[in-house]
Amino acid sequence: MRLQASGVVVRSRQSDSAEMRADLVRIWQSEKKIILLVTHDIEEAVQLADRVLVMSNRPATIQEVVDVDLPRPRHLDSPGYLEKRDRIFRVMGMSLRVGETAA
């Protein structure tokens, strides 16, 4: 989202993040290179990655590898996207509901 204030263009952090993700996908598609992305943002990981390695706390070990076999562009409200995202949350012992933890 771009906001115009006193002749200065101000961009929201969310907009910058969405643009960065779109740029990464565009570069990856045109260059056909391997990209290693390290992130703490589960939404970003599912949106950009073909595989997500869910790490444990220290000492860090791989808890699970989640294959993200979804077509691009990935829609954040699609059932497949939500299933992958929720699976990662469960592996991490987290819940999407406030005050709850995954069983």
Query: What was the pLDDT predicted at 5?
Result: 45
Query: What was the pLDDT predicted at 14?
Result: 54
Question: Which of the four pLDDT bands, split at 50, 70 and 90, describes residue 2?
Answer: very low
In this model, does residue 103 exceed pLDDT 90? Answer: no
d(CA 83, CA 79): 6
Domain ranges of the chain: 1-35, 37-97
Query: What was the pLDDT predicted at 6?
Result: 46
Query: What was the pLDDT predicted at 51?
Result: 95
The predicted-structure confidence for 47-79, as pLDDT tens digits, reads as follows: 989 999 999 988 999 999 999 999 988 888 999
pLDDT greater at residue 40 or residue 9: 40
The predicted-structure confidence for 20-51, as pLDDT tens digits, reads as follows: 888 887 888 888 878 888 888 999 899 989 99
